[in-house]
Amino acid sequence: MKNRRGRALFLLLIAIGLLCAVTVAGGLLAGSAEFADFSRKNLPPCLAFPFGTDRMGRDMLARALAGLSLSIRIGAFTAVISGAVALLLGTASALLGGPVDAAISWVIDLVMGVPHILLIILISIACGKGTFGVVAGVALTHWPSLARLLRGEVLQLKQAPYIQMARRLGASWGRVLWGHFLPHLLPQFLTGMILQFPHAILHEASVTFLGFGLPPDQPAIGVILEESMAYLSTGRWWLALFPGLSLALTVALFALLGERLRLLLSPVRSQE
Amino acid sequence: MGHRLRFTARKLARMVLLLLGVSLTAFLLMNASPLDPLQTNVGQAALGAMSPEQIARLEEYWGVNTPAAERYLRWLGDALRGDFGISLLYRQPVLEVIGQRLSNSLWLMASAWVLSGALGLALGVLAGTRRGRWPDRLVRGYCLVISSTPSFWLALLLLMVFSVWLGILPIGLAVPIGAEHAGVTLLQRLRHAILPALTLSVTGVANIALHTREKTADVMERDYILFARARGETAIVRRHVLRNVALPALTLQFASIGEIAGGSVLVEQVFSYPGLGQAAVSAGLGSDMPLLLGITVVTAAMVFGGNLAADLLYGVIDPRIRRGAAGT
């Protein structure tokens, strides 16, 4: 823990550990998140139920954890898919150039022109709403910014003297791609993808909250918060406060994780 | 001058092409939907009780049997003449619905846009000029917290604190319940718009603040700042930093129109504020395709318009581009 890199690595591991713990705990608690007991309904937070209980006597802590677990899994899945799309289209756009580049750039502008929420709603409707709809929506809307970034990187790399030199010395494209492009692009790609997690998670929760995402029988954070709306004016504040807070913490953890990873992988700061 | 005109014309042409693309994409997405508009709006029970003729009439009303290509071309032809069709839910022309809703939303979005831009710029410069010290840490912490917070949850919290506990602000809608349209005062409208506008502004700050911070810190390390310091200049921030930071901030702020529009969808839903975003949600839930299509196109037009404005303003504000254009 002597230097900044050591500290960053330490924090990174803690963040990963915490997120894994929440994911696993949420998965294990899926049963008790659904368990209703009307003898204990509408309890404010207490020792036995730190997050309180809802109108059906369900434990809000279990529901929040199960929801977070669902959010993290969907977030990871969609971020990986949109990362792959970004990598494919970004590099194809830069390497092939010409009409392919123009077409891909046009599509990027197109996707960026419609607000994410609206586009996710449209895609979700196209897929018949539900889990599949929101997953497809989030996965297909988050790639353009990363694709643009990667395109810029590859364009710059293509002109770099050492790449030109390698080609002149007779290295095949495959060798140049593997030996020169990949080590340069991988850190950018990884951090870019992990920094998409927070957006993906927030958008999934938002779209579910609006009623275009996960079905109401799932303990998703969006569903929980949507239900809590009905009890706001009667003063059941715990229904909205804790699940939302835990979601915000999870998202912040992902954002920090991305930042630390960027710090660790950036060659400029490897001597700190 | 000719150079600038050509530049504008090219940008405009690209914008029109993109808008066409947006409308076609939105149309195809809605067309691909397996959701039956009759099922969602009329309900299984009512459908069962209807005669085949009634069902056929409803199917025609929702355009179930017309081929997709024909419907799109017909829509496009009408849209070019300024007719976006009839909203199936509100039973009014789509443009009329959008006009009413937009006049409500525009208040929110404009105030949030200005507030978040000004606040973000100020916080970014503050953090950037004091990099590594506590104002910087505070601003960065705020940005992390706010960009991790779901905006609709923040809206719920504000609603809980100010409307339920303290009871000083109304709990939703744009005007008092039961008030006549003519009798609504400006003050009442403002009171209803405070919380939604506040939520939108607070959440919009993070992005611009962080970018401005980066840029400011970058500028502060330049030689000309060192030289200005050596000469004993006092207004370094105003004279050197702001000028260099304002342009990227402006571009970013114009690019953020889409985010504010997206955020307003959520915020309006929580506050039951009858704006464009709320109409989009009802249209989506109720399979009101003409309205949803209209809203998508209008929103995209606003986003592209913002980008175009940023491109044009760049030429007006940046002396280098201005002189470069004059020279050619």
**CA torsion angle B2 B4 B10 B11 (round to 10):** -160
Cα separations (Å) of B81 from B74, B75, B85, B252?
11, 10, 11, 33
Q: How far apart are CA B72 and CA B46, in angstroms?
A: 30
**Domain encompassing residue A71:** 4-36+43-270
Domain ranges of chain B: 2-33+84-327
Q: How far apart are CA B246 and CA B225, in angstroms?
A: 16
Select the highest-mean-pLDDT range: A82-91, B95-104, B285-294, B309-318: A82-91
Which is more confident, B216 or B327? B216
B32 and A121 within 8 Å at the Cβ level: the answer is no
Across chain A, mean pLDDT equals 85
Kindly tell me if the per-residue pLDDT of A103 is higher than 90.
yes
Residue A104 with chain B: CB contacts under 8 Å: none
B153 and A198 within 8 Å at the Cβ level: the answer is no
Which is more confident, B204 or A271? B204
In tens, the pLDDT along A111-166 reads 988 888 999 999 998 888 888 989 999 999 999 999 999 999 888 888 888 888 88
Q: Are A113 and B22 in contact (CB under 8 A)?
A: yes
Among the listed residues A221, A226, A204, A215, the one whose alpha carbon sits nearest the alpha carbon of residue A120: A204
User: Phi and psi dihedrals of B316, rounded to 5?
Assistant: -75, -40
% of chain A surpassing 90 pLDDT: 24
Give the confidence band of A271 by pLDDT, cuts at 50, 70, 90. low
Q: How far apart are CA A193 and CA B317, in angstroms?
A: 35
Q: In the predicted model, what is the mean pLDDT of residues B285-289?
A: 83
Please tell me the distance in Å from A130's CA to the nearest CA on chain B.
11
Q: How far apart are CA A135 and CA A143, in angstroms?
A: 14
Give the confidence band of B327 by pLDDT, cuts at 50, 70, 90. very low
ipTM for this prediction: 0.84
Kindly tell me if the per-residue pLDDT of B328 is higher than 60.
no
Q: Are B160 and B169 in contact (CB under 8 A)?
A: no
Provide the whole-model pTM: 0.86
In tens, the pLDDT along B116-129 reads 999 999 999 999 88
Kindly tell me if the per-residue pLDDT of A224 is higher than 80.
yes
Sign of CA dihedral B2, B7, B11, B17: positive
Contact partners, residue B316, CB within 8 Å, separation at least 6: B322
| Residue contacts between A and B (CB atoms, under 8 Å) | 142
Could you identify the residue written with the tokens 């280098």? Answer: B320
Which of B20, B156, B278 is the best residue to mutate to test the A interface, defined by the most A CB atoms within 10 Å of its own CB? B156
In tens, the pLDDT along A73-88 reads 999 999 999 999 999 9
Which of A226-230, B42-46, B267-271 shows the lowest per-residue confidence on average (mean pLDDT)? Answer: B42-46
SS3 of residue B86 by DSSP: strand
3-state helix, strand, coil in chain B (%, to 5): 80, 0, 20
Of B148, B281, B287, the CB nearest to A210: B281
Nearest CA in chain A to B24: A110
Residue A206 with chain B: CB contacts under 8 Å: 150-152, 266
In tens, the pLDDT along B195-213 reads 888 899 988 898 899 999 9
CATH number where A167 lies: 1.10.3720.10
Superfamily of domain B2-33+84-327: MetI-like (1.10.3720.10)
In tens, the pLDDT along B53-64 reads 777 777 777 666
Please tell me the distance in Å from B282's CA to the nearest CA on chain A.
10
Q: What pLDDT was estimated at residue A63?
A: 86
Residue A229 with chain B: CB contacts under 8 Å: 156, 270
Of B157, B160, B296, the CB nearest to A122: B296
Q: In the predicted model, what is the mean pLDDT of residues A256-271?
A: 76
Q: Are B238 and B209 in contact (CB under 8 A)?
A: no
> Cβ-count burial of B31 within 10 angstroms (0-12 exposed, 13-18 middle, 19+ buried)?
middle
Nearest CA in chain A to B18: A110
Please tell me the distance in Å from B238's CA to the nearest CA on chain A.
31
**What is the CA angle B280-B282-B284, rounded to 5?**
65
